[in-house]
């Protein structure tokens, strides 16, 4: 019995599961997620103002995303009123935006606090300490500690404010 190439292709297609039919076994249209994982991802995506989605055709930035069990919809960038849809089985990865406030706060506290420590210690030592054969003053440790703490807190606040306006990305979903 001789089979045509078209018949062999059709039989092969029917035997192997496609992406859409294998998706039906998952709780939603995203591969590798159970029901609870999908609900957590849905909450994460739906509460963000902007996300990035990686598909087979490239990366897309989506504004006001809404994730349901079959589609990922977002506001159209051109008009802002029409919702564009993206099928879930096409999605390879989802990144959500996050701020870098915590990282910048730690960096600001360390930098400005360290600078406050150095400046307060040098000001307490006096200018005679740096001259050849000079005599150094004693350092008031409480004053140095207060200046260091106040400058570290100020640096942390400044860093958090700057970091709140710096956008970073966190991977929320990657297809297996």
Mean pLDDT of 54-68: 87
pLDDT digits (tens, 9 = 90+) for 71-103: 888 886 666 666 778 888 888 899 998 888 999
pLDDT recorded at residue 80: 60
- As a whole number of angstroms, the distance between CA 20 and CA 31 comes to 10
Domain 18-98 has CATH 2.30.30.100: yes
pLDDT band at 2 (very low <50, low <70, confident <90, very high): low
CB atoms within 10 A of CB 133: 5
Axis crossing angle, helix 141-164 with helix 101-125, rounded to the nearest 10: 150
pLDDT band at 166 (very low <50, low <70, confident <90, very high): confident
Q: What are the helix (H) ranges across the chain?
A: 5-15, 19-23, 35-46, 101-125, 141-164
pLDDT recorded at residue 79: 61
Mean pLDDT of 150-162: 95
Long-range contacts formed by 65-68: CB under 8 A, 24+ apart: 67/41, 67/42, 68/42
Average confidence score pLDDT of the chain: 80
pLDDT recorded at residue 23: 42
pLDDT recorded at residue 28: 55
Domain ranges of the chain: 18-98, 101-166
Mean pLDDT of 63-74: 86
> Which of helix, strand or coil describes residue 83?
strand
Residue 83 or residue 26, greater confidence: 83
Mean pLDDT of 25-32: 62
Closest CA to 111 of 72, 155, 145, 171: 155
């Amino acid at each position: 019995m001789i089979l045509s190439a078209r018949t062999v292709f059709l039989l092969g297609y029917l035997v192997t599961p496609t992406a859409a039919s294998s998706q039906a076994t998952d709780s939603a249209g995203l591969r590798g997620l159970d029901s609870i994982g999908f609900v957590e991802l849905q909450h994460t995506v739906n509460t963000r103002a902007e996300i990035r989605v990686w598909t087979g055709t490239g990366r897309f930035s989506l504004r006001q995303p809404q994730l349901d069990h079959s589609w990922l919809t977002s506001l159209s960038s051109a008009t802002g009123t029409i919702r564009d849809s993206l099928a879930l089985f096409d999605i390879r990865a989802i990144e959500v935006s996050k701020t870098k406030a915590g990282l910048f706060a730690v960096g600001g506290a360390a930098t400005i606090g360290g600078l406050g420590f150095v400046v307060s210690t040098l000001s307490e030592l006096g200018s005679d300490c740096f001259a050849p054969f000079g005599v150094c003053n004693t350092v008031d440790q409480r004053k140095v500690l207060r200046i260091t703490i106040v400058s570290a807190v100020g640096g942390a606040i400044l860093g958090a404010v700057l970091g709140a306006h710096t956008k970073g990305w966190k991977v929320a979903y990657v297809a297996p």
